[in-house]
């Protein structure tokens, strides 16, 4: 049996040290990334307004709130994706201006305060808003949905 020469012993020790360094780096990176992966996004604060989207109808159990932070919690109970647009207006909910396509609301003529572009079927999404006292209409602006009755009103009053 031959004895290892100094060069092969040095190589073996060097490989072992490199392996340890890589292991320590991997553990360090994991330790740094782990808290970020486990952090839960903060929930928006404010009065919660529950909204349910259905085919050609919007339900809300909250017709009025006090101005300030409001969180629209939008549940799409319909079998299709919908849009959720909030505008501030004194117009009747069914009297918003229709665009040149004849199928959707002309949002450019209104004071839009927030929007969820796509609320997938069977999901819940939230829209945090800062609402001043006034009258707000929310609706789905996909082609024909507003005209089919997908709109509702929220009255916002001054704090008392």
Residue 103 confidence (pLDDT) above 80: yes
Cα distances (Å, whole numbers) of residue 124 to 22, 47, 116, 119: 43, 17, 11, 7
Residue 113 confidence (pLDDT) above 90: yes
Residue 142 confidence (pLDDT) above 90: yes
Query: Per-residue confidence at 159, pLDDT binned at 50, 70, 90?
Result: confident
What distance in Å separates the CA atoms of residue 81 and residue 29, rounded to the nearest whole number? Answer: 40
Identify the bridge partners of residue 105 per DSSP, sorted by sequence position: 98
What phi and psi, each to the nearest 5 degrees, are found at residue 60? -140, 135
What distance in Å separates the CA atoms of residue 63 and residue 154, rounded to the nearest whole number? Answer: 5
Residue 28 confidence (pLDDT) above 80: no
Cβ partners under 8 Å of residue 119, min gap 6: 53, 74, 76, 81, 82, 83, 84, 125
Model confidence, pTM: 0.73
Task: For strands 47-54 and 111-119, give the pairing.
Answer: unpaired
Percent of the chain's residues with pLDDT above 70:
72
Q: List strands edge to edge, sheet with 111-119.
A: 64-66, 151-157, 134-139, 82-88, 111-119
pLDDT tens-digit series, residues 57-82:
999 989 999 999 999 999 999 999 99
């Amino acid at each position: 049996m031959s004895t290892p020469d100094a060069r092969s012993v040095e190589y073996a020790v060097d490989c072992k040290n490199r392996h340890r360094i890589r292991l320590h780096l991997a553990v360090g990176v994991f330790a740094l990334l782990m808290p970020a992966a486990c952090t839960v996004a903060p929930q928006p604060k404010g009065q919660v307004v529950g909204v349910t989207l259905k085919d050609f109808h919007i339900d809300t159990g909250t017709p009025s709130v006090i101005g300030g932070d409001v969180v629209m919690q939008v549940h799409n109970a319909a079998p299709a994706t919908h849009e959720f647009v909030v505008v501030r207006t004194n117009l009747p909910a069914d009297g918003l201006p229709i665009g040149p396509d004849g199928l959707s609301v002309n949002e450019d003529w209104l004071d839009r305060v927030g929007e969820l572009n796509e609320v997938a079927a069977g999901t819940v999404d939230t829209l945090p808003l800062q609402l001043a006292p006034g009258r707000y209409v929310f609706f789905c602006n996909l082609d024909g949905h507003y005209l089919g009755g997908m709109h509702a009103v929220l009255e916002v009053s001054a704090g008392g």
